[in-house]
Chain A
Amino acid sequence: MKNKDKPPELQPFFDKNIAGDVVPSIGISMPRIDAYAKVTGRERYAADYYGFDMIWAGVKRAGIPHARLKSVNTQAAENLPGVIAVLTHKNISGSNRQGVIRKDQPVLVDDKVRHCGDAVALVLAEDKETLAKAIKLTSADFEPLPGVFTTETALEENAPLVHEDHPGGNVLLKASLEIGSVQSAKEHCDVLVEACFETPLVEHAYLETEAGWAQLKEDGKLEIVASTQTPFRDRMEVADALGLEPERIRMIAPYAGGAFGGKDGVTVQSLLGLAALHANGRPVKMWWSREESFIAGTKRHAARMYYRLGAKADGSLHSLDTRLYFDTGPYDHLGGVVITLALEHSGGPYRIPNVSFKGWAVYTNNPIGGAFRGFGVAQVTAAMEQMMDMLAEKLAMDPLKLRLKNAVRKGDKNCVGVTLTHSTGLVECLEAVARHPLWTERAAWKSKAGPFKRRGAGIVALMHASGYGPVVPDVANAKVELTAEGKIKVYCGVVDMGQGNAATNLQIAGSILCQNVDRIELILPDTDRTLPSGSASASRCTYTFGNALIGACETLKLRILQRAADLLMVDDCDETALIPGAVRHLPTGREIPLHRLATFMNESERTATQRFRAPTAKEIPPVGNEIRLHGFPHTLFSYGAHLVRVEVNELTGVVDVKRYLSVSDCGKIINPHVYEQQIQGAIAQGIGYALSEEVQVNEGKVLTADLATFIIPAASDVPEIESQPVEIYEPSGPYGLKGVGEIATNGPLPAIANAVADACGVRIFRSPLTPSRVLRALRERLSEGGVH
């Protein structure tokens, strides 16, 4: 049972009697290749390594939100038997700075602590218990500094600065966009609606907290295995922070136990690298506790959003101005990119001729705001889609018809001035909702609410961009190989954090090369073996990598068929076809097994690669270069329309989500099972965002650092979800596909808020819609005599 020196199994394997003899096709639900190892408990995640001679590394966190570091006291911990090293910033020879855009986050604090989760010291110990004791024995002397804990105070003149060297002060990035004239347009609006929305700081709460292990190999190579979405970018970050040549570092990314954006960037990687450099060649493991993950990991930005929406009497939208304040915490991480994507989506999927959008990503001493599925779009959609319902109410118009009237169609310019040249299926999504009995029969359903219950239905329209936008190349490089044994190896460049893209890669390769599942092997992302293909993020994984993979597989296929035609001495490779394990000459039935064919080909011939770069918008929008650099604007969008039915308990304030319908235009579907997983899982996360999830922070300290106080939905909290695809073929996508990873997360919060308003006549501008907030709103409505 115990095998201390076995290497970690990073490759998925598949039981032949499951579906190994199946030749994959596109568009069918087939079992995910990764599922077998996962249902048997054999999958080795980054957290599952317990190797020979392994030691543990852990972090002393600052525990104070803003302070100057005077000294770190390591002696007591170093004296503890079983402690191998206690490292501080003095042990780091590189820049000691990490970050995707602005490198402003220290691996170990040198000058200043900027949030409670900052790492002050890194401890290495023989076992976890010694490690915990040593971390307790490590202390630091701080000179406390006044902190900034809201975006308002951070923007005040003379506010304490989080980064003294940042030219923008506490404004990490200000993004703005003006089209037309909101000022003069307002005079031509028949109705104006105004509101301010607040959305909370939210934790990803992936089941596998940040984890990994590393080892300095005898040849001097630093190997880091981590639960990450971004192995290639991590390598560069670690190299820079620790002062190593990137070639010295090998990053390996096994299947992640969930990520959702929280592993988009460095978590344990640099710390592990540093630890391994001081571990005398021994493997060293780090695995954050749940509490540590809450305190030190990134979060969905808390946001405050001011909206003013104007329309004509017939419901056509005429002007919108927005001001978005996103709390990015102490470090850039991806805060600038998040505010930029939020800005781009802040007017929703509508035609609006006059807009003025402004957004600020603001430094504070709160936990780090970063990437989280939805990436700023979840916040602005919550605001805009509630504005649409408020406008519909003011116009006495059906909210669905109002959306249909203003919905973007292919060929339109969206409200940030981009012409929609790709598939644009919003109208089809809205029409599907309009036809659905959950919508058409809602009045009867609402009237049957029991005593002290109120029922309501809410809808939203959604859009979500995919890819990186115009400047940072959204590129994938696929590689596929016919092995000497006649099997197919697919080198996956993009991490599978659970979304299923590895299985989709197998489906694509198997389908093109006509090979059954057990003749295909996946090589998961590994900077030494696979090719750089960008991050597992931005709803881009299968779109960008899938396109590259199709190209690589088609190249390899042609090469195999041509070689086979030569060997069979037939004129035209059109007469040959790949079949499982062989090439067959169709007119004669003669076959060459792939393992024999492979012996006639050298390695370079047996390997094909393909690069794909995602398309970008060609319009030059009226924004500064800085904003373009942060990814503005996009050209490719997925669309959706959601409907929710809720029942509100007037006595308890509990909002019970009864039914959920999602209609999505994410292009054609490669694997319906995986597609549904993405939609349903995103909706469940969105329901948590709407009703219960809120990281509470007081003066920079997280008060809800566990799953008992930060409430994510359990099986009993998620309703029946119906997910309908509107499968419009997107010509630029692999098999007509568009991104599906994020869009559905954006719907539940505004849909539920709209449904609660429909049920009770109250609108709650601060989410989540907890029972206490709902009760308070109901009481206020009563005290106002039923008028809200």
Chain B
Amino acid sequence: MKLTIGFSVNGDSVEVEVLPHWNLLKVLRDVLELTGAKQGCGEGECGACTVLVNGAPVNSCIYPVLEVEGKEVTTIEGLMDKSGRLHPIQQAFLEKAGVQCGFCTPGMIMSAFALLKANPDPTEDEIRHAIAGNMCRCTGYVQIVESVQHAAAVMSGRSQERAGKE
């Protein structure tokens, strides 16, 4: 039997009918058609489905949708500002070549977003640790790490030269 639950997605309140065993990713993709969060494994192993629930990154493919009742969900679609300007992390991934096939990118950016919120000036090791649950099969992570470093520098107002040296 379907239940109705309410939560917010990228600032908008939504009510959806769900089956109790559904996961959050299914609702985001199949019901709300927010296809930015990807399914790479469906078992919480690859991180392609990473979204934020009340600011914390979760693997939405194994996050029970009933748990999201009354909470705030942020997906990749919610990172741009109202005027359509990219978030500095998105901008950094674009400029510093953190994107190849792009299927891991939304999840990767959401993990980076959560990291930089908690730790605005992370070391390289801290970045690698924070995205260790986000598998990327294309890039070898070098330019992803550089993208996050660059975003951190821009967001905290540090100069780009310093970002380059980190």
Which of A4, A681, A683 meets B100, CB within 8 Å? A681
Given contacts A1-B34, A35-B93, contact A498 B100 (CB under 8 A): yes
Given contacts A257-B38, A290-B43, contact A41 B139 (CB under 8 A): no
Least CB distance from B100 to A in Å reads: 4
User: Could you mark each residue 100-128 of chain B with 1 if its beta carbon is under 8 Å from any beta carbon of chain A, else 0?
Assistant: 11111110010000000000000000011
Q: A32 at interface (Cβ–Cβ under 8 A)?
A: yes
Task: Indicate whether A716 reaches chain B with its CB closer than 8 angstroms.
Answer: yes
Interface SS majority for chain B: loop
Q: How many A-B residue pairs have CB under 8 A?
A: 197
Select the residue from B14, B31, B39, B80 with max chain A CB neighbours within 10 A: B39
CB-CB under 8 A from A129, the residues of chain B are 19
Distance to closest chain A CB from B144 (angstroms) = 7
User: What CA separation (Å) do A205 and B101 show in the bound complex?
Assistant: 13
Q: Are A260 and B143 in contact (CB under 8 A)?
A: no
- How many Å from the CB of A283 to the closest CB on chain B? 14
Q: B1 in the interface, Cβ–Cβ < 8 Å?
A: no
Nearest-neighbor residue (CB-CB) of B125 within chain A: A716
Interchain CB contact under 8 A, A40 and B33: no
- A interface residues, how many (CB within 8 angstroms): 67
Q: Do A716 and B132 form a contact, CB below 8 Å, given A41-B76, A47-B38?
A: yes
Q: Does B85 contact A (CB under 8 A)?
A: yes
Known contacts A35-B93, A50-B29, A716-B128; is A207 also within 8 Å of B109 by CB? no
Q: State the Cβ distance, B78 to closest chain A Cβ, in Å.
A: 9
CB of A205, distance to nearest CB on chain B (Å): 6
Separation of A614 and B67 alpha carbons in the complex (Å): 57
Minimal beta-carbon separation of B112 from chain A (angstroms): 11
Shortest Cβ gap from B42 to chain A (Å): 6
B75: nearest chain-A partner, CB-CB: A41
**A722 and chain B: residue at smallest CB distance:** B142
Distance A41 CA – B60 CA, assembled complex (angstroms): 15
Please, how many angstroms separate the alpha-carbon atoms of A143 and B158 in the complex?
69
Task: Report Cα–Cα, A676/B40, bound state, in Å.
Answer: 25
CA distance A128 to B29 in the complex (A): 13
A217 at the interface (CB under 8 A from B): no
Query: Interface digits, B74-105 against A, CB 8 Å rule (1 contact, 0 not)?
Result: 01110110001110001101110101111111
Cα distance A34–B41 when bound, in Å? 24
A207 x B38 contact (CB < 8 A): yes
Q: Cβ of A677 < 8 Å from any Cβ of B?
A: yes
Residues of A within 8 A of B132 (CB): 714-716
Q: A residues within 8 Å of B by Cβ?
A: 1-4, 15, 17-18, 29, 31-32, 34-45, 47-48, 50, 128-129, 204-209, 255-260, 287, 289-290, 497-500, 673-674, 676-677, 680-685, 706-708, 712-716, 718, 720-721
Residues of B within 8 A of A (CB): 9, 12, 14, 19, 29-43, 45-46, 48, 75-77, 79-80, 84-86, 90-91, 93-95, 97, 99-106, 109, 127-129, 131-145
Given A207-B136, A498-B100, A680-B139, 19 extra CB contacts under 8 A = A32-B94, A35-B93, A41-B36, A50-B35, A207-B48, A208-B38, A259-B101, A290-B41, A290-B43, A497-B101, A677-B140, A680-B143, A681-B139, A707-B45, A715-B127, A715-B129, A715-B131, A715-B141, A715-B144
Closest 7 CB pairs of A and B: A41-B36, A498-B101, A38-B102, A257-B103, A684-B140, A41-B76, A680-B140
